[in-house]
Every structure is written in C-alpha cells, then in structure tokens.
Structure 1
Amino acid sequence: MDHWTPGRLISTLYRRCQRHLDRRFAELGIAAGHGLYLYLAELARRDGVTQTELASCLALDPASVTRSLRRLEALEWVSRRKGEDGRERHVFLADRGREVLPLIRRVLEEWDAAAAKNFSPEERQHLERLLGRMTANLEEEEK
C-alpha cells in the first residue's frame, strides 16, 4: 500500500518527533523521556490542574498519568497536593520544573520550526486549523 493517509503521515511525524526530542533532551541532560515534557508544557499553561483534567487534555489514561507524575515528582519537577475534598490531586510545577521549562520550550520550538521550515505563515495556520479539526473530530468520536 503506497498511499500515505493522514493517519499514517501523522504517525510517522510522531515517531520522528519522539526520536528527535529524546535525542535533544538527552543532549541537554534532561530526563524527559516517556513524553514527560508534555506534562510540564501543560502545567506551564494550567498550573494546579487536577490529575483527571491532565489525563483528559493530554488524551492519556489515568494510570499512565499517575506513573508519569511519580517520575516527575522523583525528579522534583512537579508536586501533587490533595484537593479540598481529599479525593482529587492537583498538580503543580515545582521550582526545578520551572527551571527546566525554558530548555524544553526551546527544543519544542526548534522541532516545530524544522518541521514547518518551508511553510508560509498562512500554510502553517491552515495546517494547525486542519489538525485541530481532526483532533476535535476524534474527541467527538470518543464520547
């Protein structure tokens, strides 16, 4: 099958992205494997979010999020605190997480720039809109 479907292209981009990010983070001495950088990037936007909300917005299962957060706590990049009702945990960037965040952002920006280097601003916006629509379609399917 020689036809490159959107799903196949996205999968290929994802694998190439993961290899690139793993290599770059290792070069910088950042133990950000297993997609741990995703958590820090999301917490930079929404510090104090609940674990459930974090799992939902990252489209990950709650058990996987719990394991990753344990790793991030061991690295002293995040902290978790029980909410007022005692059932839900809120996740916060710790000082070390805030320190490493600029490096992570830089690596992510480098990847985005490399992936879209020959795109016009209009093409990039159009791609972002299309991918956003695909994401929304799939989120709707999951409901």
Structure 2
Amino acid sequence: MDRAELNDVRLLAQFSQVLRTAIDASVDQVGMHRGQAMLLCQVAKQDGMTQSELAQALSVQGATITNLLKRMEETGMVVRRRDDEDNRLVRVYITDDGRQHEEAITEQFEHLIQQMFTGLCDEEYAAFRRTIGQLMSNLETYQIDQDCDS
C-alpha cells in the first residue's frame, strides 16, 4: 500500500468519526443515544419485527438489542408482545411516544444531511452515492473473502 492509499484510509476513517460525532450530537438533541435512535427508526420503518430480525437488520448482537429494548420499553417508546400465531416469537412495536421521538430524530437527520451536502450539485451528490455504494459493496466482498480464508 502506498502513501496515497494509506492517506485515503485515514481520510475515510476521519470522515467516519466526524459523521458518527455529528449523528451522536443530532440524536442527543432528542435525548437519545445512537443505538436507541437506530433501533427506533428501524422499528418505525418495519413495525412488528422480532428481536432477532432487528439484530440482523442493525448488524448487532441479540444481547445488544435486548438491552436497548429493555431501556426503550421502560421509557415507553416501544412495546414487546408475543406473536399471536407463534407464542415463541416476541415482536417489537413502536408506541405513540416512540413515533414522536422517531419523527424528531428524522428531522434532526434531515438537517444533518442538508448540512453535510451543502455546496454539492445534484451530479456530485449522485456521484457520492454511487461511490459510497461501490465502496460498501467492495468491503462486503472483502469481508466475505476474509471469512472464507479463515
């Protein structure tokens, strides 16, 4: 790897850190943490998912989802209910209070996105989306290759 490529990795890592910090500040405005916000947005998008489906959708461990849900249930943002047809399954549903928080999070994210892309024309924005998509696809393929080599 040459110096330019190493600098690219550093630049992407710095961008990731700045974005994570901005996301944290945005969800803090709503009185939540990043993990709670991501979980709430996922439940709002697809109400009634199981805990394992949520863990898979958010790429986190089941125990992480369990802990997040416990706190969010205590604050009244979500409820967990047994599935009507399969009593072994527990499904997660957003409450009215959770919906209000999710709308506030979405509003914060809209402001963040607007700020992040200020100064880019439509073509630059489209190129950014294509590039990020390709980078993610490349990394997913790389990860699969690494897993197969192990």
Does the TM-score normalized on the shorter chain lie above 0.5? yes
Distance in 1 (alpha carbons) for counterparts of 2:126 and 2:82: 39
Greater CA radius of gyration, 1 or 2?
Answer: 2
Q: Which runs of 5+ in 1 are unaligned?
A: none
> 3-state DSSP class of the match of 2:76?
coil
TM-score computed with the length of structure 2 as normaliser:
0.77
Counterpart residue type for residue 23 of structure 1:
A
Q: 1:46 Cα deviation (Å)?
A: 1.0
Q: Which runs of 5+ in 2 are unaligned?
A: none
Counterpart residue type for residue 7 of structure 2:
W
Q: Which residue of 2 aligns with 1:22?
A: 24
The within-5 A match list for 1:1-143 is 3-6=6-9, 8-26=10-28, 28=29, 30-83=30-83, 84-139=85-140, 141-142=143-144
Distance in 1 (alpha carbons) for counterparts of 2:65 and 2:140: 18
Deviation per CA, 1:13-58, whole angstroms, max 9, x where unpaired?
Answer: 33223322333443x4x33114211112112221112211211121
Identity %: 27
Contact residue 17 and residue 111 of structure 1 kept, 8 A: no
Q: 1:137 Cα deviation (Å)?
A: 4.2
Residues paired across the two proteins, number: 140
Counterpart residue type for residue 19 of structure 2:
C
